[in-house]
Structure 1
Amino acid sequence: MGVAATDSKDNRASFSATGNTIEVAALGVSVLSTVLGNKYSRMSGTSMAAPYIAGNLALLKQSFPNGSHVELRWKL
């Protein structure tokens, strides 16, 4: 699944991919994340956006346990 990153205003991040392979987008700019040393840091990237999508898919799978991957993608 192609995931793009957006900013807090839902604009595509300058570093994020474009094109017809992108299916969904999520916040990926200046995301507060944990880092080594028991600290937090703001990070950017599609790797910050992908967990939002994975979490949403997990919730959809819980709500629709018999849903196929095609159905869950459509609902997402």
Structure 2
Amino acid sequence: MLFYIDEMGCDNKLSILRGWSLIGEPSYGEVLAYQTQRRSIVAGYNYADKKIIALLEYSGYTNTEILINGLRNTYAHH
């Protein structure tokens, strides 16, 4: 079997890229000084049967242990 796997994470520390103000006036926005939440998703594509699989969704960062355990739990029945 051939799988393509990718990890993506996002947090709640967003920066405002666009704003509105009067001509010549700066545009201000409030942004958190630090992140307080993080969500990560590891998803894959099974090349053999052309299906997208969502392996993991969790809070925090991805490391090798999380990825390997997620793969084992997802494919333990195969």
Q: TM-score, normalised by structure 1?
A: 0.28
Q: Which has the higher helix share?
A: 1
**Is the radius of gyration larger for structure 1 or structure 2?**
2
Q: Which has the higher strand share?
A: 2
Asked which structure has the greater RCO (Cα within 8 Å, sep 6+), the reply is 2
Q: TM-score, normalised by structure 2?
A: 0.28
